[in-house]
Structure 1
């Protein structure tokens, strides 16, 4: 296999990993970041607009975009947001079974599965049950990731306020599209797993950065990772993750999200795709996750890697409407940045602007370096006049060829 197409909302980390592994990488995504374009042979930018959902895209339109590359792809990999799309059988789709993906990505169905397996997870409630619950409840869309839309309900009246806020964002969800769970507190974490049809290997345990105030104003937004995470529950989490991935029948790169509570680890969800922790896992272990993913579909697992150093990825969210000036673009590139927006890109409030990476000998060192880079970029951002443009949108498909 040589020519690989990746389709997802944000494909930068996958494209760059595949490029480092020696593949000819092509992309369809919503951002076409500067550094992704440097690693891709060609890329097409999707028009996501407001309230876009990948499953609403006409499959004939998506196939038309694929065909427009004029490349005979050896494999097409659905990434973030496109995992459950059902493609025509004549396309070389490299992914897990469609029915499995539907069950894993729907948080309501997944909660029922965990209950049947007697695995620790937050208690999940029906809409009628939460009217009589006095403790705080976490509400989240059943089929959405990233934590951007997650909120805590303290009483029944908060639900309507939450739905109203979704409508203002042009997100059309009803009570039936939501999941209600116990609100638990602890350390957010994930286990990165590579699996074949009959074997699974946990290759890293990662700390998740969630709702970090110097990165975002959103309370539960995913803000990056630190690898490795050492915890007394490491072996337990690895065993749970490996057995769960095998039980689900997943192949390739997957991640199991946990919350490490005072009573032990609790499973939050499974991401049956490349995860946002890809950068830190690769930097910390030296493992190329794209190559490991491809080899897993051939029945091969990598040797268990060792952590060489600590690595962090910190995602900076915009706090207002921002038009990326040439000056800001250059300043972002002065740091160890990834997901770098292009000059002229428009980033809306609470949208990811860019990410910074750091490596070091301990957690404190990588946090300190990452935070220094973030503060530098924020100061540069403040030098630019606030813009009144709307969030990133595209009126048409745009092709960028290296």
Structure 2
């Protein structure tokens, strides 16, 4: 296998991992960031902006884009948003879990019932027919994707109905049937990144999730990155649960299980049957190439369990305004040596992801401080640019 196509809403981390592993990799991606294009042999734009458009994407459009690259692809790897691609539509192998396994793992109501049958702690999920039985507070969120941007907490039926109305205004596709309503629990957001073949599963790392970090995003539940490893006395239990679920749902390759570590112990929130946002920090902390490990799973091979070499952190900085990326801003972001570098001429929407910052340090505290300082530098630079643009004198 040499020529690989990665397709998804945001594929930068997968593409760059494949490039480091020595593959000739092309990408179909909605952002086409600067560093994605640096890693990819070639890339083209995924012209889908909504969940509905992603789900209705005609495979023939993908085939046309594949043909335009001028390569014979040995494998296709779906990323976020394109997990449900019909494998039968492509002549090359699709390195992902079988479609029926993906559908079951992604169905939050089905997952809730399976977790109950397996005796694994989880928040109860309510179907649209069960709204009168809801016990508040509950978390309301899109059934797929979103990065936490749409997540809301309802503390009464009136608030729940108001949130559903708000969702329908923001996106007509967000209805009672396309959102998840589940018990709201307090705890530390976390995840387990793992690999699985048809017969075995291996947990690689337990990650702390950075959710709604004020100096990275104004949104209370926005996914703001990860720290790997997450030091917790529940790590072994979480890894065992993740491995059990990977085999139970017949998942293949790189997958993740999201947890909430509560006072009573770890609670499974959801399964991510695909490469996760923690790919960067897992690779940096555990000194492993996840794309190579992922492809090995389809040959029935798992790597040795790695050990953590540092605390690797990724912080996703969101923009608090509509932001035009001029050359000065792009060059300044490049100096931070992060990732997801927006192209000169791009426009970042308010509350949209601007860039990712990284650190790899001996302690968690140093990793957080490094991210915070990087975010502060970028925000300060943006403020200075805005003052120059509107003619406001810069303060000393």
TM range (shorter): over 0.9
Question: Match for residue 15 of structure 2?
Answer: 15
Distance 1:171 1:366, change over 3 A: farther
Partners of 1:129 and 1:7 lie apart in 2 by 36
Question: Match for residue 316 of structure 1?
Answer: 317
Does 2:150 match 1:149?
A: yes
Deviation at 1:51? Answer: 5.9
Deviation at 1:127? Answer: 3.7
Does 2:107 match 1:106?
A: yes
1:86 touches 1:98 (CA, 8 Å); kept in 2?
Answer: yes
Q: TM-score if structure 2 supplies the norm length?
A: 0.94
1:206-355 counterparts in 2 under 5 A? 206-355=207-356
Structure 2 SS opposite 1:205: strand
Question: Match for residue 186 of structure 1?
Answer: 187
Does 2:152 match 1:165?
A: no
Structure 2 SS opposite 1:274: coil
Distance 1:117 1:132, change over 3 A: closer
Question: Match for residue 73 of structure 1?
Answer: 73
RMSD (Å) for aligned C-alpha atoms: 1.6
Q: TM-score if structure 1 supplies the norm length?
A: 0.92
Structure 2 SS opposite 1:213: coil
Deviation at 1:109? Answer: 2.2
Question: Match for residue 59 of structure 1?
Answer: 59
Structure 1 SS opposite 2:386: coil
Deviation at 1:133? Answer: 4.3
Partners of 1:51 and 1:145 lie apart in 2 by 9
Deviation at 1:89? Answer: 4.6
1:19-55 CA-to-partner distances (Å, cap 9, x unmatched) read 1111111100000110110000000012224565311
Question: Match for residue 198 of structure 1?
Answer: 199
Partners of 2:107 and 2:127 lie apart in 1 by 15
1:29 touches 1:44 (CA, 8 Å); kept in 2?
Answer: yes
Partners of 1:39 and 1:310 lie apart in 2 by 25
Does 2:351 match 1:373?
A: no
2:33 touches 2:341 (CA, 8 Å); kept in 1?
Answer: yes
2:74 touches 2:92 (CA, 8 Å); kept in 1?
Answer: no
- 121-130 or 231-240, which moves further after superposition? 121-130
Runs of 4+ in 1 over 6 A off after TM superposition: none
Question: Match for residue 2 of structure 1?
Answer: 2
1:341-391 CA-to-partner distances (Å, cap 9, x unmatched) read 0011011011111000001000000000010001101111222339xxxxx
Gaps of 5+ in 2: 388-396
Greater RCO, CA 8 A, separation 6+: 1
1:250-271 CA-to-partner distances (Å, cap 9, x unmatched) read 1111111100000000001111
Deviation at 1:131? Answer: 3.5
1:258 touches 1:269 (CA, 8 Å); kept in 2?
Answer: yes
1:58-91 CA-to-partner distances (Å, cap 9, x unmatched) read 2222222222212100100011100012141523
Partners of 1:248 and 1:34 lie apart in 2 by 36
1:14 touches 1:290 (CA, 8 Å); kept in 2?
Answer: yes
| Equivalent residue pairs, number | 386
Partners of 2:315 and 2:357 lie apart in 1 by 5
1:51 touches 1:170 (CA, 8 Å); kept in 2?
Answer: no
Partners of 1:119 and 1:204 lie apart in 2 by 20
1:246-292 CA-to-partner distances (Å, cap 9, x unmatched) read 11111111111100000000001111111110111111110111110
Deviation at 1:128? Answer: 4.9
Gaps of 5+ in 1: 387-402
Structure 2 SS opposite 1:384: helix
Deviation at 1:304? Answer: 0.8
1:175-216 CA-to-partner distances (Å, cap 9, x unmatched) read 122221110010011111011111111111100001111111
Partners of 1:53 and 1:114 lie apart in 2 by 31
2:317 touches 2:353 (CA, 8 Å); kept in 1?
Answer: yes
